[in-house]
Homo-oligomer: A and B are copies of this chain.
């Protein structure tokens, strides 16, 4: 049918485009926008399945290639997930903090952000949310945190403690603020943090008995709703992480002389 060039589509040929303001570079982009809108409006909810590629071709009146490119963009944006096989297709995904943070972490590492920058932002944020955490933490939150602390101590004993463990703890703390935006933000911080640290092969030594103990103390303070103590502990905890980071980034400085 030739959706190609100079068919009836306005904006295609050299006709006056008086009332068809901006049109179309890239048909696939139009499709993306349409689906995006449907999702935003709630007409497509997580779990819903888009029609098959071949169906979409007919409905949009374009070729399968075009539809596929649109689906690729939607997939890369984290809006849909594509499964193969019968009953496969494009499924609208549950927007998750993880997915968001992941893509973000990628670009953060590329942007001109140092580990120090991230740490600083992290200090601002993780300290700032402490009042909320202390006020809102439920028993379930605290129980979860206890488990994480214990896991951390175990892993520490057999030397398998990773930064991921620490990140999980801090994210769980943030989630006790019971605010999705805050949780996502903290999660976002820890993404690029892990990446840059792991790249530098300094994951393991960053956490030690002292840090793990501070995690323990923090949970206690939260449980006792002691905001001042919590803040003190967190400040010390993050500050030492920052110092350690600076030390690795600039090893010429004198040795701070503490373990952790």
Within the oligomer, what is the number of copies of this chain?
2
Contact code string A64-75 (vs B, CB < 8 Å = 1, else 0): 010011001101
Instruction: Report 9 cross-chain contacts, Cβ distance below 8 Å, ordered by A residue.
Output: A36-B106, A73-B73, A95-B111, A97-B111, A103-B103, A117-B179, A117-B181, A124-B182, A125-B185
Q: A100-B111, A108-B184 are in contact. List 9 more A-B contacts (CB 8 A).
A: A76-B76, A78-B107, A95-B107, A96-B111, A99-B107, A108-B181, A111-B184, A113-B180, A121-B179
Which residues of chain B come closer than 8 Å to A97, judged between CB atoms? 111
Q: A72-B72, A120-B179, A132-B124 are in contact. Are A100 and B95 (CB under 8 A)?
A: no
Q: A103-B103, A185-B185 are in contact. Are A110 and B95 (CB under 8 A)?
A: yes
Which residues of chain B come closer than 8 Å to A129, judged between CB atoms? 124
Contact code string A233-257 (vs B, CB < 8 Å = 1, else 0): 0000000000000000000000000
Interface centre among A95, A120, A121 (most CB of B within 10 A): A121
Q: Is B69 within 8 A of A118, CB to CB?
A: no
Q: Which of A75-120 contact B (CB under 8 A)?
A: 75-79, 84, 95-97, 99-100, 103-104, 106-113, 117-118, 120
Q: Is B103 within 8 A of A181, CB to CB?
A: no
Interface centre among A96, A108, A127, A189 (most CB of B within 10 A): A108
Q: Say whether A15 faces chain B, with CB atoms less than 8 Å apart.
A: no
Q: What is the CB-to-nearest-CB distance from A180 to chain B, in angstroms, rounded to a whole number?
A: 5
In the bound assembly, the distance between CA atoms of A231 and B39 in angstroms comes to 39
In the bound assembly, the distance between CA atoms of A75 and B77 in angstroms comes to 10
Q: A108-B100, A111-B184 are in contact. Are A128 and B124 (CB under 8 A)?
A: yes
The dominant DSSP class at the A interface is helix
Q: What is the CB-to-nearest-CB distance from A134 to chain B, in angstroms, rounded to a whole number?
A: 13
Q: Say whether A40 faces chain B, with CB atoms less than 8 Å apart.
A: yes
Contact code string A23-43 (vs B, CB < 8 Å = 1, else 0): 001001000000010011000
Q: What is the CB-to-nearest-CB distance from A210 to chain B, in angstroms, rounded to a whole number?
A: 25
> Among B76, B103, B112, B182, which residue has its beta carbon within 8 angstroms of that of A180?
B112
Q: What is the CB-to-nearest-CB distance from A30 to chain B, in angstroms, rounded to a whole number?
A: 14
* Residue in B closest to A116 when the chains form the complex, CB atoms: B179
Which residues of chain B come closer than 8 Å to A113, judged between CB atoms? 180-181, 184
Ranked nearest first, the 5 interchain pairs of A and B with the lowest CB-CB distance are A76-B76, A124-B128, A121-B181, A128-B128, A95-B110
